[in-house]
Amino acid sequence: MKKIITVAILFFSFVSFAQIKVLETVPVEKLGKVNNNYIQKIGDEYTVYYTSIQNDDDESSSLRKFTFKNVNNDYASLYNIIMNGFTASPLYDIKLELPNNYIWLHYTGSVIPDKATVQFMVSNKDASSATSSVSEPFVKDQINKLFQK
């Protein structure tokens, strides 16, 4: 009888620890892509992945990212800010603040109309791990493709 009770207790203890829990998953949506650069959406959070051509830590080109939540339609606002920068005269840099990063949108002009470029210059806010990087230059059509517009 003692053996049966012992086996029953062991069986119930294993059953209680072996429960399977189904967690809600949020689909990962890959938005536009230009070369190795792309934007990914998970729920209301957007992550911009870009190829860095210049890093503080002297690595060769690598994939970097910055993330923000779409709180007040921030995704569309970022797109509009970038696109309005192309038409500004003269072209000037725009500084943006995100929760974890500062981003400068660095515009360069060209003698050929509609060939102005923008680069993301991203630096980390955290002073203990302060890093910065610069993306490859994007023309207006590439920004449209990246943001799926």
Average pLDDT over residues 125-131: 68
Q: How does DSSP assign 23-66, residue by residue? A: PP---EEEEEEETTEEEEEETTEEEEEEEEEEETT---SEEEEE
Cβ atoms within 10 Å, residue 63: 11
Q: What is the pLDDT of residues 14-67, one digit of tens each?
A: 555 556 777 778 788 888 888 889 999 998 899 999 988 865 555 556 888 888
* DSSP for residue 100: S
Please tell me the predicted confidence (pLDDT) of residue 38: 93
> Per-residue pLDDT for 9 more than 80?
no
Please tell me the predicted confidence (pLDDT) of residue 12: 61
Question: 2-11, 61-70, 86-95: which has the highest mean pLDDT?
Answer: 61-70
Say whether 85 sits in a helix, a strand or coil. helix
> Tell me, what amino acid is at 102?
Y
Average pLDDT over residues 120-126: 84
Q: Name, in order, each residue with C-beta under 8 angstroms of 110's C-beta and a sequence gap of 6 or more.
A: 116, 117
Of 149, 140, 144, 136, residue with least CA distance to 49: 136
Length of the chain measured in residues: 149
Average pLDDT, the chain: 80
> Per-residue pLDDT for 99 more than 80?
yes
- Delimit the domains of the chain by residue range: 27-147
